[in-house]
Amino acid sequence: MTTYLTEYNWDDVVPVPQDDGGPDALVVIAYNDDYRTAMGYLRAIMRVEEYSERAFQLTSDIIFMNAAHYTVWTYRTRILFALGKDCEQELEWLEYVASKFPKNYQIWNHREIIVEKYNSPIRELPFIEAMLALDSKNYHVWSYRQWVVRRFNLWATELAYTSNMIEDDVRNNSAWNHRYFALFGAGAPVNDGIVASEIEFTKDAILKAPQNASAWNYLSGLVRTSKRPLSSLEDFCTSLASFPMTVSADSQEIVQSARALEVLADIYAEKRDLDRALQAWTLLADKYDTIRVNFWNYKKLQATRTIMA
């Protein structure tokens, strides 16, 4: 016998069976007996909007059988508030559930609702950091961290936190994304000194891994958002992607970073230096980024039409 059947008396409840679409249903999901029975009782008590301890326990049992069941989470929230249950106890329970199902987004949606009601972030950043220690690229955890930071105005620590994360793994795209959020997400103006410092920080990170798309995307975002000219990156990109004026399959050009070459091509196009832009795109198409050959050929065609017009 299962916990939800033995801990509470269900004699007054007639389970509502799953409607699979009739006897000739095309596809019938093969639920196990425990899950099928639990859901039968849940459908029955949801019909009469029963908000009770046994209903609350039943949602817990079903969540551990199928943590992705959105309706169960929604019903649990309604019971929680109807019974006036302790939000902190619910947060503790959620921490355990999250350790078992860390990439289930319903967990984080439910936690957001509870924290909003609890109106305190005191548990949140330590909990988030513990979860990211288990998986530093868990999208759901990072998304939740953004909500917590914005909701409780916790911007002050975020750049330092992402610096540590990037130091641990320079290719952590989630940390780079959060860093951009930390810098610009509050909507307040960012002074030139901070942006200049960020550009140097990012350049140093790129030198550790010149092909790392995450840092290059962040650098491009910094330049674009701060309205700096792309050409301000020309010297840095040239140091990582110098190349000759002729292109051949056996040429001995030194290109440490295809990403740098890509930015250089755009810089040359902006400066209407079509010859060097075409040369850079040709190198990318023929040698350094052949998987995107069609894209580079498209860029060449578009630039030629624009600059020659």
Please write the tens of the pLDDT for every residue from 240-269: 986 554 444 455 556 789 999 999 999 999
Share of the chain above pLDDT 70, in %: 91
Q: How many domains does the chain have?
A: 2
Q: Considering only 26-30, 119-123, 286-290, which range has the smallest mean pLDDT?
A: 26-30
The secondary structure of the chain in percent helix, strand, coil, rounded to multiples of 5, reads 70, 0, 30
- Does any domain span residue 206? yes
Say whether pLDDT at 6 is over 90: no
- Start-to-end CA span in the chain (Å): 78
Q: What is the pLDDT of residue 28?
A: 67
Say whether pLDDT at 156 is over 70: yes
Do residues 42 and 58 lie in contact, with contact meaning Cβ atoms separated by under 8 Å? yes
- Residue 265 shares a structural domain with residue 302: yes
Share of the chain above pLDDT 90, in %: 82
Average pLDDT over residues 16-26: 73
- Residue 223 shares a structural domain with residue 266: no
Q: What is the pLDDT of residue 3?
A: 56
Say whether pLDDT at 9 is over 90: no
- Residue 221 shares a structural domain with residue 261: no
Final residue of a domain: which of 195, 228, 261? Answer: 228
- Residue 299 shares a structural domain with residue 262: yes
Final residue of a domain: which of 228, 254, 272? Answer: 228
Average pLDDT over residues 167-186: 97
At 74, the amino acid letter reads T
- Does any domain span residue 42? no
- Residue 217 shares a structural domain with residue 241: no
Average pLDDT over residues 226-249: 80
CATH number at residue 208: 1.25.40
Name the nearest CA neighbour of 69 among 95, 101, 92.
101
Say whether pLDDT at 133 is over 60: yes
- Does any domain span residue 20? no
Say whether pLDDT at 290 is over 50: yes
Query: Catalytic pick from 85, 100, 103, 117?
Result: 103
Assigned token pair, 151? 């909701």
Q: Rounded to an integer, what distance in angstroms lies between the CA atom of residue 286 and that of residue 241?
A: 15
Q: In which residue are the tokens 């580079």 written? A: 296
pLDDT digits (tens, 9 = 90+) for 51-70: 999 999 999 999 999 999 99
- Does any domain span residue 296? yes
- Residue 241 shares a structural domain with residue 218: no
- Does any domain span residue 134? no
Q: Rounded to an integer, what distance in angstroms lies between the CA atom of residue 80 and that of residue 105?
A: 19
Q: Rounded to an integer, what distance in angstroms lies between the CA atom of residue 8 and that of residue 54?
A: 6
Would you state the torsion angle of the CA atoms of residues 116, 118, 123, 124, taken in this order, to the nearest 10 degrees?
0
Average pLDDT over residues 215-223: 96
- Residue 164 shares a structural domain with residue 190: yes
- Residue 193 shares a structural domain with residue 265: no
Name the nearest CA neighbour of 185 among 232, 229, 148, 228.
148
- Residue 238 shares a structural domain with residue 298: yes
Q: What is the pLDDT of residue 246?
A: 46
- Residue 182 shares a structural domain with residue 252: no
Range of the domain at 291: 232-309
pLDDT digits (tens, 9 = 90+) for 67-89: 999 999 999 999 999 999 999 99
Q: How confident is the model at residue 19 (pLDDT cuts 50, 70, 90)?
A: confident
At 88, the amino acid letter reads E
DSSP states along 79-102:
HHHHTT--HHHHHHHHHHHHHHST
Assigned token pair, 75? 């019903």
pLDDT digits (tens, 9 = 90+) for 96-112: 999 999 999 999 999 99
Assigned token pair, 63? 């969540």
Final residue of a domain: which of 197, 228, 259? Answer: 228
CB atoms within 10 A of CB 126: 9
- Residue 183 shares a structural domain with residue 215: yes
Q: Does the annotation count 227 as an active-site position?
A: no
DSSP H/E element including 73: helix 70-82
Say whether pLDDT at 165 is over 70: yes
